Each structure stands twice: as C-alpha cells, then as structure tokens.
Amino acid sequence: MADSDLEIFLIATPGLEHPLRDEAAACGFAGAQVMAGGVSVRGGWPEVWRANLQLRGPNKVLVRLGSFPAVHLAQLDKRARKFPWANVLRPDVPVRVEATCRKSRIYHAGAARQRIETAIAEELGAPISPEADLRVLLRVEKDLCTLSVDSSGEPLHKRGHKAAIAKAPMRETMAAMFLRECGFSGQEPVLDPMCGSGTFAIEAAEIAGGLLPGRSRSFAFEKLASFDADAWNAMRTPVPLQDPSLQFSGSDRNAGAVQAATENAQRAGVAALTRFRQRAISDIKPDGDQPGLVIVNPPYGARIGDEKRLRSLYGSLGKVLTNRFSGWRVGIVTSSASLARATRLPLLPPGPVVDHGGTKVRLYRTEPLP
C-alpha cells in the first residue's frame, strides 16, 4: 500500500454510478471508472479528504488498505497480524470491524471479523467497540481478503446543515446526481414545484454559489493516523458565497414544508439565493425571463397517495409546464412510467432504475419545452 497511490472507492446510490463517475472526473480525480457498487479513483490521503469535502454524489468514501489471499481462518489470522495497521489506525481510537464472505472457503463472517479484531487489538493496541465511529471493513471474496476503512463516518448525504425533513425526502446525494443528469451546472434558475424540505433547490443553490457539500461536518478520516490537521484546515478554508444572480425556488401546498425548506436554506447559507412559497401546482410560473430547469420528485403512490388519484396531479403539472414554461427543461423523478406519461410532456427515454430508499425510481427528462 503506497500512501500516494491508494484505491479510493466512492459508494454510489444504485443506478447513479455514471453521473458520479462524471462528477469525480470533472473534479480532477484520477482514473475515475465505474465498478460494481460505485466508482473507483486513485490518489493519496489528501484526495480522500477532498472526495469527502467536494463530491456531491457519493454516499461514502472507502479507502482500500490492501488485500491478501487466505483459504482458512489460521491463515487469515497470521496475515492480519502482519498487516501494517499503524500506518492507518491510531492505538487510542476505538475501531469497529465489519466482515462479509462470498464464494470463499472462509465462509463464517463472524469468525473472520474476530480475527481482524484480535489482530488490531493485540498488534496495534486499539480498542474494539461495536459503537465505534471508525469502521474497518473486511471483504472475503473468492479466497481474497480485502481490507478497507470508511473515511466518511456518517453517510455523506448528511451535509451537516439540514434539520427539518419532509415526507419521503430526497437525499442530497441523489438530488445532486439527478441535477447533473438534467445538465444543471449552476448557470440557470431552478424551480421545484413540490419542494418538500427543499433539497433540489438548496443543492442547486449550493452548486451555483460554489459552496462545498462537506463544509459543515466532520469525517471519520480525522481520527486516522494519516490525518494532517493543518493540510485539512487549509483545504477546507471557507469559500465565500458567489452570487450568480439566479433564483433557486421551491413551492409546496404544505405550509410546514415551506417553513422547513426556508429554515434548511438558512442553515445551509443559501437563503439569499433561494425562495420558498406556499402555492398549488396551478399557481406556479417562472420568476424571470431566463429559462432554466423544473425538477420535481412528486408523490408516486408507493408511499404517499395512490396512483389513480395521482394521475390528475401529474396531468395538471404537465399542463401548467406546457402552457407557462416554454424554453425550460423538465426533470421528473417517479417510480411509475404511466404517471410520467400522464404529464403529456415530450419525454426523452427514461434514465436507469435508481434505488430511492427501497423504491425503484427513474428520472424522466425533456428537452427545452416548445
């Protein structure tokens, strides 16, 4: 394991691997490629910190520490004891170990986990605790043992400045990748006419304002032996909010959702760029002359409401957008192709299936409306 050439694995929401790869490449991460479960990039520890700080799409950032073959537990125990734990872990920081086994002669994940725990405790002296914030991961697949560390800690959709959430919330990581899939780069207004807790509008405002997604929170890598506090503090120097003179707005019939979105925008530092109002779908209209993006995560029956009743809602949305939003592009996230078609909008072929909290959804997009 060379500290300057680590394999850094970005865990993606299933179905959003390709926009995450595009984001990592656009942010200058080396060797970005899609793999099962996410995106692999390469770099040293500063790139690990930067991935957590700057990337909007990953759910977690894992660091591959190394791998070795083992066909039985005694061999795993011997090799785990020789592993250079002190290069990564600190003896004063508690560690939690998790293990999985697939298609291997070592098939008992609990026994494999115990061998790693014992090696860390006896060779390094670090305490083992099932409640520890710092996670070491062992994957045994086809007799190859791969060790990783979770550098993120709390999932990365927890940006650190969102207290209020609405029903069926859209995670920030998903919202950012759907915005990217819609071609949003921060240069146009965005409207979410069913805004809930405001995630789409707030993410869009942060992108346009040049704010880093990890600016308000701490990370597990701060407890690793490789951590350099001075270099990290220099990397996360606060960036002043850029004013793109655009409006990122949301509306909702529910007064509580509007209040929650407004409070979330204030905590995120984008109150000056956002506006949330209580209004029905029939009352929405563009705020200015510049066309932009309407993006919406309407109810789709799987959780809230029922599909038959929702057809008229989707139909009303499509009618208003067709009549009032000429030149605007539309993105609709829904689990139902028939509901998407109920808008009667000129939809492009749908995006890949995405796992939204156990519900399979897709992004339906349009070109600029005539």
Hey, what CATH topology would domain 6-150 get? VC0802-like (3.30.2130)
DSSP string, 178-202: HHHHTT--SSS-EEETT-TTTHHHH
Helix axes of 199-209 and 172-181: crossing angle, nearest 10 degrees: 70
**CATH architecture of the domain with residue range 172-214+240-365:** 3-Layer(aba) Sandwich (3.40)
The one-digit pLDDT tens for each residue of the chain (370 residues) are 568 899 999 999 999 999 999 999 999 999 999 999 999 999 999 999 999 999 999 999 999 999 999 999 999 999 999 999 999 999 999 999 999 999 999 999 999 999 999 999 999 999 999 999 999 999 999 999 999 999 999 999 999 877 756 566 789 999 999 999 999 999 999 999 999 999 999 999 999 999 999 999 999 999 999 999 999 999 999 888 998 899 999 999 999 999 999 999 999 999 999 999 999 999 999 988 999 999 999 988 755 557 778 999 999 999 999 999 999 999 999 999 999 999 999 999 999 999 998 899 999 999 999 9
The residue ranges of every structural domain in the chain are 6-150, 172-214+240-365
Q: What is the distance between the alpha carbons of residues 205 and 157, in angstroms, rounded to a whole number?
A: 16
> What is the Rg, in whole angstroms, of the alpha carbon atoms belonging to the chain?
23
pTM of the model: 0.95
- What are the C-alpha distances in Å from 276 to residues 11, 79, 144, 198, 200? 32, 57, 52, 8, 12
CB atoms within 10 A of CB 54: 18
Q: What is the distance between the alpha carbons of residues 182 and 172, in angstroms, rounded to a whole number?
A: 15
Amino acid identity for residue 203 in this structure:
E
Residues contacting 155, CB < 8 A, separation 6+: 59, 60, 173
